[in-house]
Structure 1
Amino acid sequence: MAARPHIVRSVRLPEAVEARIAAEFDAPPPPDKPLDTDTLFRLAEKTHAEAMLVTHHAAINAEAAQRIPSTVKLVATVSVGLDHLDVAAITARGIAVSNTPDVLTDCNADLAMLLILATSRRAAEYTALVRAGWGRDLGMDEMLGQRVSGKTLGIVGMGRIGQAVARRARGFGTTVLYNNRRRLSPEKEEGATWVEHLDDMLPRCQIISLHLPGSDDTDGMVDAAFLAKLPKGAIFVNAARGRLVNEDALIDALRSGHLAGAGLDVCRNEPHPDPRLLELPNLFMTPHVGSATVETRTDMGMLALDNVAAVAAGKPPVTPVTA
Structure 2
Amino acid sequence: MKAVIITQPGDPHVLQISDRPVTEPTGNEVLIQVKAAGVNRPDVFQRKGHYPPPPWAPQDIPGLEVAGTIVSLGKHVKQYKIGDAVCALLTGGGYAEYAIADANHCLPLPAGMDFAEAATLPETVFTVWHNVFQRGALKKGESFLVHGGAGGIGITAIQLAKAFGAQVFTTAGSDEKCEACLSLGADIAINYKVQDFENELKEIGVDVILDMVGGDYIAKNIRLLRSDGRLVFINTVKGSKTDLVDFSLVMKHRLTITGSTLRNRDTDFKTALTKDIFEKVWPVMDSGKFKPIIFRKFPLSEAHQAHKLMESSGHIGKLVLVND
Looking at secondary structure, tell me which structure has more strand per residue.
2
Question: TM-score higher than 0.5 here?
Answer: no
Q: TM-score, normalised by structure 1?
A: 0.43
Looking at secondary structure, tell me which structure has more helix per residue.
1
Q: TM-score, normalised by structure 2?
A: 0.43
